[in-house]
Structure formats: C-alpha cells, structure tokens
Structure 1
Amino acid sequence: MDIENFKLSSKADFKSHQKTKEKLRRIKPKSLDLMFEKSHDKQFENIDCLTCANCCKTTSPIFIQTDIDRLSKLFRMKSSDFIETYLFRDDDGDYVLKNAPCPFLNSDNTCFVYEERPKACREYPHTNRKNMHGILNLTLQNTLVCPAVNEIFKDFAKEFRK
C-alpha cells in the first residue's frame, strides 16, 4: 500500500465524498446499514490491513475503562500508571493515545496487544455495524485514514450515478 499516494488521492476525493455522504443521509437506516456491510465485506476481500496500518500510524482509538483495565493487566501496571504512560484526555474528555504511531504497533504492522486491543480498534473502520446514520460524519473522516473506507465511498458514488 502506497500510503503517500493514498493520502493525496483521498484528499482529492474528499469533496466528492462529502456529496456522497449527503446522499447517504437520505437512505433508510436499515438499508444504509446493509449497503455498508455489503461494501465493507467486498473491500476487505481485497484489502489487507497489515499492508497499510495507516489507522495505527495516524489516529488514536478511544480507550474506554474496560480497555484500560485489560491492557493494564496485560502490562502488569496499575490503570493509573497505564493512563499516565500512554494516554491523555482529549477535548471531548475521552482517553486517547498521547502519541502516534500507536506504541503497540510492531514494525511489520502487526499489533503487539492484538488479542487485548481496545474495542475501537476491534471495530475499526466501523463500516459493518448498525446505525451507520449515526456515524456518517466519522465515516467520512475515515475516508482520509482508511483506504477501504475511501473505496466504499467511491463505490457508493458510482451507484448514485447510475
């Protein structure tokens, strides 16, 4: 995966994706969820996250308390020490990583804490879940991070042109 090329092309596609998002808002919730799920499955037949890991290199998941407790136990740390070492509260009051790339990302793009990774990492890029209407803004932003999400939006744009 050529991340630099992806960054340029995803920025170039963003205005088109904004228009696509507005069209997606008009679709009934259950139909929208099914559209995303189908396109998600199609994209992940072809895309291997280990060739990219751009999400791990550029963004932070939100860490909920159960994530913090689970990872603290893994590292044999107190939760407060784990927070002090790795996390801070963002403007929304959520715990996120202090630094990017993720400190748990190995050089081969695998995750050092994969079995214990945060819920947000398990669910990323959130394109195969229920209530996609509720996260369309986040999903639009993820077109700049995840090649699969970018391709999903391109597929939808093609569908709307038909």
Structure 2
Amino acid sequence: MNTAALSIDTAVLAAANADSNIALMDSLKRTNATWLDATVHRLEQHITPQVNCTDCGNCCNTLMINVEAQEADTLAQHLAISRQQFDDTYIEKGSYGMMLMNAIPCSFLSANKCTVYEHRFGGCREFPGLHLPQVQQRLFTIFMHYERCPIIYHVVEALRQMDLPQGEA
C-alpha cells in the first residue's frame, strides 16, 4: 500500500462489494482469531494516518452516539452549562437510563471538525474500533460501517487480498 492519502469517497466502491462481503465475513469468522486481531491492528495502524478524518466526517454526520453520565457531566462542565441544560439541549433519554445524542449530524460538529474534541464521548474516541481486541466478535459491526468509514473500508479491502489462515486461536 502506498503512503499517499487514501480515498475517503468509498460508498460507491463499497456498494459494489456488498454481495462478496457476506462471503468474506464468513471466511473471517473461520480465520484464526489471534492472527485476525494482529493483522487488523497492524493494518489499522498503517491505514489510519493515510485517511484525513476531517475530510470525511461520515461518522459524525451519520451515527447515533451513546453518552455515559460521566461524559455528559464532563461536557456540560466544559460548556459551562448545567447538566440539566446539557440534557435538555443535547440528549435523548431511552429506556434503562440509556442516553443518546439527540441530533444527527452531531451537534458538536462544525466544518467536519469536532468542536469538543478534547472532551468527546468514548464512542467517538473509539470509532472505528479496529484497534480493539476480539475483531471476530465484532465483524457484524465492522461490516455495518464498511461503506461509512474509509478506514474500515481500506482495512477490509486489504484483508480481502490476503490468504486467511483458518482455525481456532
């Protein structure tokens, strides 16, 4: 893979692979899990610097963001508003205490940049999550974001070109 910036306009490219992605996901489920984690982590470290997230912003423009109480407290304090005002302005409360940002795109997105970057939510910090362990257990989620996230797209396309070792880890 070259070091030039990778395409962030992947939706059309990704749509062409929709059918073959089912077979690829099935193959990845049978791949050695330790190998898959290490390979995805290595690819993610190589690909991420080649994608300018602020030129993309698909995650911030299209995802529902879960918010933890502590995150809401921290961001309310940063914004110098009460927690109640924060909740009333930015939060949709669901069952079992679940909280979500109440707007898509994210209310804190401006010119494809996060205006609260240092205080952003955990889900935002972790996305696209390719650095996390147990890739095999998250394949559905990874493929769900395949069209949305150029990093995921390019990692999956690199995996597609590999001979996948089969077997349990």
Aligning the two structures, in what range does the TM-score lie when normalised by the shorter sequence?
Answer: 0.7 to 0.9
Q: Distance in 2 between matches of 1:20 and 1:38?
A: 19
One-letter code of the match for 2:91?
L
| Matching residue's letter, 1:47 | V
Match of 1:13 among 13, 17, 42: 17
Deviation at 1:89, TM superposition (A): 3.7
Is 1:36 the counterpart of 2:40? The answer is yes
Change (3 A) 1:16 1:87: farther
Q: Which amino acid aligns with 1:117?
A: R
Say if 2:166 is the partner of 1:142. no
User: Larger % of helix: which?
Assistant: 1
Alignment of 1:1-162 (within 5 A): 5-89=9-93, 94-107=98-111, 109-160=112-163
Q: Which moved more, 1:55-64 or 1:74-83?
A: 74-83
Paired letter, 2:155: I
CA distance in 1, matches of 2:56, 2:65: 17
- Computed over aligned residues only, the root mean square deviation of the Cα atoms, in angstroms, reads 2.4
SS of residue paired to 2:141: helix
In the other structure, the counterpart of 2:167 is: none
CA displacement 1:64-98 (0-9 Å, x = unmatched): 12211111111222323322211214589632222
* TM-score where L is the length of structure 1: 0.86
Provide TM-score, normalisation by structure 2.
0.83
Runs of 5+ consecutive residues of structure 1 not aligned to the other structure: none
* Offset from partner CA, 1:120-148 (integer Å, 9 cap, x none): 11111001111212221111111121011
Do the aligned partners of residues 80 and 21 (structure 1) sit closer, same or farther apart at CA in structure 2, a change above 3 Å counting?
farther
Q: How many residues align?
A: 160
Q: Compare CA radii of gyration and give the structure with the larger one.
A: 2
Following TM superposition, where does structure 1 have runs of at least 4 consecutive aligned residues deviating by more than 3 angstroms?
89-94
Distance 1:138 1:70 in 2: 28
Could you tell me whether the CA contact under 8 Å between 2:72 and 2:86 is conserved in 1? yes
1:28 CA displacement: 3.0
Return the alpha-carbon distance in structure 1 between the equivalents of residues 69 and 18 of structure 2: 34
SS of the residue corresponding to residue 17 of structure 2 reads: helix
Which deviates more, 122-131 or 94-103? Answer: 94-103
